[in-house]
Amino acid sequence: KYSGPISQHQLRAQTYEARFSEAIQNKEFVVWYQPKYNPYNEKIVGAEALVRWQTPEGMIPPGEFLDVFESDGLIEKLDEYVFRTVCQQQKAWADMGRKLLPVSVNVSRCSLFGQDIVGRYKKIIEECGIDPLYVPIEITESVALANLKIKPIADAFFDAGFHLHMDDFGSGRSSLNGLTVMHFDVVKLDKSLIDSIGNRSGELILNYTMALGKELGKRLVAEGVETESQLSFLKINGCDAIQGYYYSKRLAVNEYERKAYGE
């Protein structure tokens, strides 16, 4: 016998799983682009790819289905689909003579430890004939997992020419250790750090975190920047790029194309 909320959850999981293949085939998973800005000249320097599930009944945000696909392994297919979509889009822009800007893609931990992720992604890059430089991989380094386990994968990505971005840095899930061990060239400062701007001890922590990242040669991208005062704090402290509603929310591909490449 089931208690209400649990059966609801299971029902949702079963429905999502049953619909997954069909959803991939019907291209219901849509890639959105949130621009990242250079705050000093206010030009777009790239974007992050964010997935949405566009069902006939409406749009589902990733927070609702990622946990389901992470627990049943379908996330590997979804992450690869998003990656391929971005690679194909970059190829299309290259063919149009656009100067490519990197569009980073998220890779869930489950995908990372799945079947030969680097081999699969390398093959897609080769099929599209683009430079892996233009599709950096965002990974959340977590305390829960030893760096040793990620290291060979990070090394293989690096050897294949990919750039790695450390996602959600400074959130409860991240660890300082990752900064030293891995081939990350970008550190994404988590929204929780940005939200602490205006609070004295929070600002101190952010200051030191940024200084540490810089000292280790990382580029700093701030996430979830919403206000003018957050922006000016980050600029004073030498943040390299800004991603957040202050500049732009996620955009549909055409809208992003217009903003990034102008007319």
Rounded to the nearest whole angstrom, what is the least distance from the CB of residue 176 to ligand C2E in the complex? Answer: 19
106 is a site residue for Ca ion (CB under 5 A): yes
- CB count within 10 Å of CB 244 equals 22
By CB atoms closer than 10 A (0-12, 13-18, 19+), residue 65 is: buried
For every residue of 54-69, DSSP letters joined together read EETTEEE-HHHHHHHH
Residue (80 or 223) nearer to Ca ion, CB: 223
- For residues 69-80, one letter each, b for 16 or more C-beta atoms within 10 angstroms of the residue's C-beta and e for the rest, the string is bbeeebbbbbbb
Rounded to the nearest whole angstrom, what is the least distance from the CB of residue 223 to ligand C2E in the complex? Answer: 6
Please report, for residues 47, 67, 102, the alpha-carbon distance to residue 38 in angstroms, rounded to integers and kept in the order given: 11, 33, 13
According to CB under 6 A, which residues from 88 to 107 bind ligand C2E?
106
39 is a site residue for ligand C2E (CB under 6 A): no
Q: Which of 45, 51, 137, 234 binds ligand C2E (CB under 6 A)?
A: 51
46 is a site residue for ligand C2E (CB under 6 A): no
List the structure tokens of 25.
């085939």
Residue (4 or 172) nearer to Ca ion, CB: 172
Q: Which of 90, 108, 174, 209 binds ligand C2E (CB under 6 A)?
A: 108
Contact at 8 Å (CB) between 164 and 194?
no
Chain centroid, CA 93 distance in Å: 20
Kindly state the number of chain residues that form the binding site for ligand C2E, as judged by CB under 6 A.
Answer: 22
Site for Ca ion, rule CB under 5 A: 106, 138, 167-168, 223
Site for ligand C2E, rule CB under 6 A: 34, 50-51, 61-63, 66, 75, 79, 82, 106, 108, 167-168, 223-226, 243-245, 250
